[in-house]
Structure 1
Amino acid sequence: MLTLDRVTKTFRAGAFGGGSTTAVDRVSFEVAPGELVSLIGESGSGKSTIGRMVLGLTHVSAGSLTLDGERVRPGKDFYRRVQGVFQDPFSCYNPVFKADRVFALVHRAYHPGVPDKEWADRVEAAVRDVRLDPGQVLGRYPHQLSGGQLQRLLIARALLLDLRFLVADEITSMLDASTRIDVLNLLAGLKERGLGVLYITHDLSLGTYLAERTVVLRSGRVVERGDTQKVFGNPLHPYTRTLLAAVPRLNQPWTAAEPVEACAFHAGGARDTDLYETEPDHFVACAGLPDCGRTSA
């Protein structure tokens, strides 16, 4: 179980670093093996910062981040179990090396005792697992492959480790529609094999495609989370409603959603980030509007 308990990230701000800004404010949720949790919010809401903290790429300022009850400590053992795939696959490859070099690096760092022939067989099997033809992608330079192929090669690299959790940060935003569905279906297959996935996105339609549970983030705070069908079937926080209203629909003209109505929780007066359970596995953080669905703790 990957657990975030009131995780906070504060950055220094100001000309001389004398001030500070809170990018993530006491965020709590869990990702279980074999579960896909969708982390949804607009740009600047803190989604990627959370992903980087989970991967140990950014230091946690406060709160705790644990894997199976043990505090996350980035290192070789941790990265055997937790890996990330990011928005821009081209930035993950050195353009002067062929794409399969990423597999050679895994071999050298994590499986140095595996003979070359056996490793080549493992790489070929992993590439086929992500629905690619090894003969068409291995041995090519990154610029000779599409974004979707590079993304899938990164996922294949992760499969060569003893992977239990994958952080997928906006991995479909640079892909065309058909390739996007291929990658999402690939994540579904990984989930069925017991892999836990934290899927970070600003696209609600994609976020609801696979996720059992959804976390809605606004300005670094969780405003609503729980069972995906409950969160989007019965949205209680005004921000969640605004996000849903902003989704374009093919059968009607699209107009920008009205700005989210302010509430006491987000107006700056209240700093309570506790979530209130309004029904089983459906939590909302709101304290000012009469129709927010808040129940007494």
Structure 2
Amino acid sequence: MMLQLDNVTKVYKVGAFGGKTFAAVDGVSFDVRSGEVVSLIGESGSGKSTIGKMILGLTSITAGSITVDGVPVKAAKEYYRHVQGVFQDPFSCYNPVFKADRVFQLIKESYYPQVSAAEWDGRVRSAIEDVRLDPGQVLGRYPHQLSGGQLQRLLIARALLLDIKLLVADEITSMLDASTRIDVLNLLAELKERGLGVLYVTHDLSLGNYLAERTVVLRNGTVVEMGLTDKVFGDPLHPYTRKLLAAVPRLNAPWEDAEPTDTCHYHAGGASGALFEADAGHFVACARFDGCPR
């Protein structure tokens, strides 16, 4: 399976009467393949979540295309059998008046009505064990009786009950404590080994570096750098990427403000957003890459 974004743009109408427009995403292109994790990194407001919503069919595309194995994305029942999303706030995905088990029952009603109750119960328990939870400790409980990490993993278990090939994980660890965060990340790594493609949307560079084979850096709705994670993190070319990396706190160094980026020909302020291959598997947005000082 391959998810392909080709020159995707999302424009919103803004202003009192909708007379102005705002490009939340502007000409973004990248892909996600089976058995790999791609990190989509950028600060708040960079367009990361908008891209995730377009992939999931939750918001429309203004221009460009999103395809899975060459077939355009459609917000349809069969599409969601293969593509699912898990979001930042797990509590918002559950109805507090129903037990957490209901998320599994809804899957059965929509996709597997012919499966017997006993067989379905076995499938649910197996999926819960796959995400390293004890069915006896989480089934039959209300959302407020479970932790954020447990609820998040139950949502991943729900996705596993379908024949999913792609998971959009949008800031799924930002509300979790450090130990639970590592558990969820290790779970995503295990799912990758099974052949699942994962788009990991985050503003946390350290987590993206930990998990992903490839990284896409987004700024103001435009890709400024992308490529193999070790190249993007080990030899950042775009000033914005360098600034993000400089802002990552380190335990063995005092906190310092990230140095401002120097003015140059890199994509900013309306310059060309074309990506240039600076090195094999390493792309950077720069109007005149050869003439830019490193």
Among all aligned residue pairs of Structure 1 and Structure 2, give the percentage whose two residues are the same amino acid. Answer: 72
TM-score normalised according to structure 2 size: 0.97
SS of 2:100's equivalent in the other structure is: coil
Question: 2:224 matched to which residue of 1?
Answer: 223
Deviations 1:226-275 (A, max 9, x none): 000011111000000000100111111011212333444544342x2210
Matches within 5 A, 1:40-119: 40-119=41-120
In structure 2, C-alpha distance between the alignment counterparts of 1:248 and 1:169, rounded to whole Å: 22
Shift of 1:9: 0.3
In structure 2, C-alpha distance between the alignment counterparts of 1:192 and 1:141, rounded to whole Å: 32
Question: 1:235 matched to which residue of 2?
Answer: 236
In structure 2, C-alpha distance between the alignment counterparts of 1:292 and 1:217, rounded to whole Å: 21
Deviations 1:11-36 (A, max 9, x none): 00010011100000000000001010
In structure 2, C-alpha distance between the alignment counterparts of 1:72 and 1:10, rounded to whole Å: 18
SS of 1:5's equivalent in the other structure is: strand
Question: 2:280 matched to which residue of 1?
Answer: 280
Question: 2:193 matched to which residue of 1?
Answer: 192
Query: Given that residues 267 and 273 in structure 2 are in contact (C-alpha distance below 8 angstroms), is that contact kept between their aligned partners in structure 1?
Result: no
**Amino acid corresponding to residue 283 of structure 2 in structure 1:** F
Question: 2:254 matched to which residue of 1?
Answer: 253
SS of 2:126's equivalent in the other structure is: helix
In structure 2, C-alpha distance between the alignment counterparts of 1:64 and 1:241, rounded to whole Å: 30
Query: Given that residues 214 and 228 in structure 2 are in contact (C-alpha distance below 8 angstroms), is that contact kept between their aligned partners in structure 1?
Result: yes
In structure 2, C-alpha distance between the alignment counterparts of 1:22 and 1:116, rounded to whole Å: 48
Query: Given that residues 286 and 292 in structure 1 are in contact (C-alpha distance below 8 angstroms), is that contact kept between their aligned partners in structure 2?
Result: no
CA RMSD of aligned residues (A): 1.2
In structure 2, C-alpha distance between the alignment counterparts of 1:283 and 1:232, rounded to whole Å: 12
- Judging changes above 3 Å, is the alpha-carbon distance between structure 1 residues 15 and 184 closer, same or farther for their aligned structure 2 residues? same
- Judging changes above 3 Å, is the alpha-carbon distance between structure 1 residues 292 and 243 closer, same or farther for their aligned structure 2 residues? farther
Shift of 1:221: 0.3
SS of 1:29's equivalent in the other structure is: strand
In structure 1, C-alpha distance between the alignment counterparts of 2:108 and 2:256, rounded to whole Å: 51
Query: Given that residues 172 and 180 in structure 1 are in contact (C-alpha distance below 8 angstroms), is that contact kept between their aligned partners in structure 2?
Result: yes
- Judging changes above 3 Å, is the alpha-carbon distance between structure 1 residues 284 and 266 closer, same or farther for their aligned structure 2 residues? closer
TM-score normalised according to structure 1 size: 0.96
Q: Which moved more, 1:258-267 or 1:7-16?
A: 258-267
Query: Given that residues 4 and 64 in structure 1 are in contact (C-alpha distance below 8 angstroms), is that contact kept between their aligned partners in structure 2?
Result: yes
- Judging changes above 3 Å, is the alpha-carbon distance between structure 1 residues 265 and 230 closer, same or farther for their aligned structure 2 residues? closer
In structure 1, C-alpha distance between the alignment counterparts of 2:266 and 2:13, rounded to whole Å: 24
- List runs of 5+ in structure 1 lacking aligned partners: none
Question: 1:132 matched to which residue of 2?
Answer: 133
- List runs of 5+ in structure 2 lacking aligned partners: none
Question: 1:157 matched to which residue of 2?
Answer: 158
SS of 1:148's equivalent in the other structure is: helix
Question: 1:203 matched to which residue of 2?
Answer: 204
Query: Given that residues 245 and 257 in structure 1 are in contact (C-alpha distance below 8 angstroms), is that contact kept between their aligned partners in structure 2?
Result: yes
Question: 1:13 matched to which residue of 2?
Answer: 14
- Judging changes above 3 Å, is the alpha-carbon distance between structure 1 residues 227 and 91 closer, same or farther for their aligned structure 2 residues? same
**Number of residue-to-residue matches in the alignment:** 292
SS of 2:81's equivalent in the other structure is: helix
**Amino acid corresponding to residue 286 of structure 2 in structure 1:** C
Shift of 1:286: 1.6
Deviations 1:272-292 (A, max 9, x none): 221000111100002267446
